[in-house]
Structure 1
C-alpha cells in the first residue's frame, strides 16, 4: 500500500486545502482536507503505537473516522479486522476470538452493544481502560488477554504479514477470516487504477458498508488514489431500511446533494433505482459517471433497462480470497451480461468442468487453517470466456441443479430473471432430481395473483426446463439475522432449503 500513502502525502503537500473526506451527518457536513487527513492518520497511528496493539477490530457505521483508523493501522502494519454491524453477538465474539483482537475501535453509541455482548467477555476493567482516540467520539476498547487466548484458537498465519482480515459468511453461521497482505491490496488498487485512466477524477459516495472489502478497496482506496473526495453517511440515511427494503429516494437525494461521480451498488439497489427512474430521478443522478455493480449476479434485463435510461452501469466480479475485484466492465469495453475482462493484476482461466480459476492474486490463507495456500484460486463459480476475453459467470458449481431429466441448471440465472420484476424482492430456486423447478419467494407485497403474474412473465423468457412450475411464499424475508443471507446480500441456499424442506417437498406431492 506504499503508493497509496505516497499519494496521500503528495495530496497533503501540494493540495493541502482540497477536500479528501466528507461525512454527511444530516444537518451538517464534516469536511476533512488533504492536509488534515494526513495529520489525523499520523495522530491516530501515534495513539495505536502508545496502546501497543497488533490486531484491531473496527466496529462503526460509515464515517470518516472509520477510514482514518483503517489507514492509520495500515501505515503501521497493524492488522485491521472490519466488523460488520449486522453480525450477531455470537459472530462478533467468534471474530474477536479467532483473530485474537487486542482491542475494538468504535463509537460511543455502539459501546453498549459491545460491552453487553456475553461472547466478548467485557468486564468493568475493560470499560475503565477504554481510551479516547484523537478523533470525534471514537474509542479504543481493549479486550482481555485471558479471554482472547483460549488454547484452542491457533492463528497459524504470520499476523505481522497480515494487513487486513475480512470475514466472509459461509453456509454456516461461523464466519471465516480471509487474511490479506499489503501486497494483495496494492495489486488490486493498481489493477483497477490502470483500467480507469480514461475516467475523469470524481468524488465517490460509499453506499455499501465500509466493512465490505469491495467498498473499502474499490471505493475508498481507489478514490483517494485518483485524487477524489470520499463521501460517507450513516447507512440508514442512504436508504437502508432492512435486508429487503431500501428507500431509493434517500440515495438519489444524497447523489444529487454531493454531485458524486461514482458509486458501488448491489444488484438489488440498481433494481430499485431502475424501477424508480423518471425525469426527476435521472436529473438527480446526472453527475454519475460510473456505477459499479458487485456482490451478486445482476439481471441482464435490469442492465439493459439501466443503459436505456442512460445510467452508466458496469458489472464486475471478484471474491474476498482474491482481495476483491478480479474483472470489471469499463467505459471502453462493456458487454451486458458479462463481468468484464480480467484486470491486469490477475489471470483468469476456465477448467474442464467450467469452473473459473484465478492466478496471480491469492490470499495469505484462511485464519487458523493449516492448509497451504494454492497458487491458483478455484472460485467454485461456473462460467466461460468469450472470444473477446469477456468473462461470464453462470452460477455456483455446488449450486448447479440437475433435474430428473438430466438438465444442468444454474439457479442464479433463473433467480436473476425473477428478481428483475418489481414484485419479487428475493427468491431461491430449487429442483434437484425433480422434473421441474420450484421457488421460495419474498415479495414486495403478498398479492398472490401479482406474484403468479410476475413468475408467468419471467417464464416467457426461459426455456422449458428452467421455468418455475411451483412456488411458495417465504414466511419472513431472507436476512443475515436468520442466517439465510450473506453479508454481501447473497442467499444462503442450503439454509433456506433446510427451513422450507417440508414445504418444498409438498409442492411436488
Structure 2
C-alpha cells in the first residue's frame, strides 16, 4: 500500500483518500453549499474536507483552533459560511444550531456539521479558499486565494525539493495555517509523498503558544519523517533541548523548513551542528504562503533563499520587498473584494537582493525605529540576535525617539534568573554597532502571547501593549549626552 495520509489510527491509501473525498464532495454539492468553514484539529478529517471542498467547487474557510470566540464569530460572519464543521465538543458554543453528523468513508469522524443561516458572501470571483490572518490588532483579515494559485505554490515547493527524495512529511504546524496547508500537505500530495497528520497535542502543542519539546522530539523520532516545517521559536527550543541532552536530531530528516519570523544565521548554524537540516524560507498569505526558500544546492544562511519557480521578488525604491506570482484575489468583504492586487504586491518588509539572487529581509517597514540621534534601526534585526541567545524565548525591542534602545525579554524557563538574561544582552551588544546596542532591558511581566494580551493569536507581538505594560523600560530622566 502507498499511503497518502497517516493519522493516529491507520494509514490511508490514495484510493481511500479519493473515495472519502468524492463521497463528501458529492454531499456538499447536493446540499448546495457555497462556503464551508472548519474548526478542526490536524487529522485525516481535515484533509478530506479540504479536498472535498476543492472537488465540489466550494470555498473552504479553515479557522485555527487558537482563534478566540470573537475572532471565530467575526470570520464566520464575514465569510458568509453556510456550514461549520467542528468537533462535537465545540458545537456547544452554538446551541441553537442543528447538528448533522459528518461521515467520511463510512467511518464517523469526531466532528459535526452545523448548518448556518448566512447572507451571500462578497468574494472575489474564483475564490477557492479564505485564510484568516490576525494582524497586530488581533482582528482576522480574510485573504481570498484561487485554486490555481495554491496549486502553483504547492507544485513549486514539490519541484524544488524533488531531488531530496522526500517521501514522508510530518505536519508539525496547524493545517488551518496556510504555510502547513500549502507547503506541507498539498506539496506532499503533489510530490506523491505521504503526509503524517496527527493531532496537535500529539506533537506537543499546548494551545497556541506553549510547547512540550520532549513530546515533540519523541513523536518525530517515532514517525521518522523526511521533512518538517517549523516556526523559529520551535527550532530554538528543539536546539536547546538536543544540546542540553547531548543528543542529535532524528536521522530520518532530510529537510526542515523554518519560517514565519526571522531566524538568523547563528541559529541555523547551531541547528545544523546537531544534525538538523534546517533551511530558512519566506512568504506571506497574500502570496499563497511561500515565495522564497533556501535548500541544498542554493543555500545562504542569513538570507531567506532565492525565489521559488512560481515567484518573483524585487526591491522598491524605498527598500520595500515586493512579490509577484500566485497572488491573492483580494481581501474578503466589501469594496476590498472588488479590488484585486496588481502584478506586484508590497510585503511591508524591508530588504535587499544580493548579486546571486538571495533575498535578505531586514525588518518590517512600519516597525523601523528612529532614535533620538536620528539613526534608523529595525527592531527585528536586534530581536533575532537576542532570541538565539541561551535562555531567551522572546524579545521585543523599542527605542523610537529614545537616546538608546531597550528590550522586553521573556526567558525560556520561569526559574531562569536575571543574570543569564544580562549576559545574553551583553553578548548581543558585543556584535552590534553602538547605535543598535541595548542600554536598557527588563524581564517581561507575563509571557508574550495572546493569553496575556501581549501578542496576537499567531504570535506577533503587540508592541504598543508591551510598551504600555512596561512603563519603566526607559528612565524618564535620561537625556541626550
Same fold (TM over 0.5): yes
Q: CA deviation at 1:242?
A: 5.1
Any conservation in 1 of the 2:406–2:474 contact (CA below 8 Å)? no
* SS of match in other structure, 1:136: strand
Match in the other structure for 2:132 = 167
TM-score by length of 1: 0.88
In the alignment, which residue of structure 1 is the partner of 2:113?
141
1:203 and 2:203 matched: no
Judged with a 3 Å threshold, the aligned counterparts in structure 2 of structure 1 residues 283 and 469 are, in CA distance, closer, same or farther, namely closer
Query: For the structure 1 residues 319 and 409, does the alpha-carbon distance in structure 2 shift closer, same or farther, using more than 3 Å as the test?
Result: same
Match of 1:97 in 2: 77
Paired with 1:508 and 1:455, the residues of 2 have a C-alpha distance of: 22
Query: Once structures 1 and 2 are overlaid, which stretch shifts more, 420-429 or 491-500?
Result: 491-500
* Pair 1:303 & 2:268 matched: yes
Q: In the aligned structure 1, how far is the partner of 2:356 from the partner of 2:60?
A: 39
Partner of 1:467: 437
Paired position in structure 1 for 2:123: 157
Paired position in structure 2 for 1:239: 204
Q: CA deviation at 1:378?
A: 0.4
The SS at the match of 1:209 is: coil
Shift of 1:346: 1.6
Whether the 8 Å CA contact 1:317–1:326 is kept in 2: the answer is yes
Corresponding position of 1:395:
363
Aligned residue number for residue 11 of structure 1? none
Matches of 2:206 and 2:86, distance apart in 1: 22
Partners of 2:335 and 2:446 in 1: how far apart?
Answer: 39
What is aligned with 1:385? Answer: 353
The 2-side partners of 1:242 and 1:106 are apart by 17
Q: State the secondary structure of the residue aligned to 2:142.
A: strand
Q: Distance in 2 between matches of 1:206 and 1:360?
A: 25
Structure 2 residue aligned with 1:406: 374
Partner of 1:448: 418
More displaced stretch, 333-342 vs 490-499: 490-499
Instruction: Using the TM superposition, name which of 37-46 and 457-466 deviates more.
Output: 457-466
1:58 maps to 38
**2:29 matched to which residue of 1?**
49
Partners of 2:242 and 2:248 within 8 A in 1: no
| 1:19 matches 2:11 | no
Residue 67 (1) aligns with residue 67 (2): no
Match of 1:373 among 340, 345, 350: 340
* 1-structure distance, mates of 2:245, 2:404: 43
Where 2:46 maps in the other structure, the secondary structure is helix
Is contact 1:271–1:420 with CA below 8 Å preserved after alignment?
A: yes
- Unaligned 5+ runs, structure 1: 1-16, 116-121
For residue 143 of structure 1, report the CA deviation from its aligned partner.
Answer: 4.1
Shift, 1:138, TM fit: 4.1
Say what the alpha-carbon RMSD is for the aligned residues.
2.0
Displacement of 1:474 after TM fit?
1.6
Aligned to 1:85: 65
Q: How far does residue 254 in structure 1 lie from its aligned partner after superposition?
A: 1.3
* Counterpart residue number, 1:432: 400
Task: Pick from 273, 280, 284 the counterpart of residue 319 of structure 1.
Answer: 284
Instruction: After superposition, give the CA deviation of every residue in 1:445-479 in whole Å (9 maximum; x if it has no partner).
Output: 35122221221122111221111111122221111
Q: How does 1:268-287 map to 2 (within 5 A)?
A: 268-278=233-243, 282=247, 285-287=250-252
Q: What SS does the aligned partner of 2:229 have?
A: strand
Number of the residue aligned with 2:186:
221
Aligned to 1:489: 459
State how far apart, in whole Å, the 2-side matches of 1:415 and 1:281 are: 27
User: Any conservation in 2 of the 1:212–1:488 contact (CA below 8 Å)?
Assistant: no
Take 1:111 and 1:422, find their aligned partners in 2: how far apart are those partners? 43
How far apart, CA to CA, are the structure 2 residues paired with 1:405 and 1:440?
Answer: 22
CA distance in 1, matches of 2:2, 2:50: 21
Instruction: Give structure 2 stretches of 5+ with no counterpart.
Output: none
* 1:354-384 C-alpha deviation (Å, 9 max, x unpaired): 1001123321111014242232100010000
Rounded to whole Å, the distance in 2 between the matches of 1:412 and 1:77 is 41
Contact 1:439 1:468 in 2 (8 A): yes
**What is the CA–CA distance in structure 1 between the aligned matches of 2:310 and 2:477, rounded to whole Å?**
48
Q: How many residues in Structure 1 have an aligned counterpart in Structure 2? A: 471
Q: Offset of 1:108 from its aligned partner?
A: 2.1
- 1:426 and 1:131 map into 2 onto residues whose CA distance is 42
Question: Could you tell me whether the CA contact under 8 Å between 1:295 and 1:489 is conserved in 2?
Answer: no
Contact 1:484 1:496 survives alignment (8 Å) = yes
* Residue in 2 that maps onto 1:422: 390
Q: Decide whether the 8 Å contact of 1:130 with 1:139 is kept in 2.
A: no
CA distance in 2, matches of 1:279, 1:404: 41
Alignment match, 1:503: 472
* Cα 1:272–1:363 shift into 2, 3 Å: same
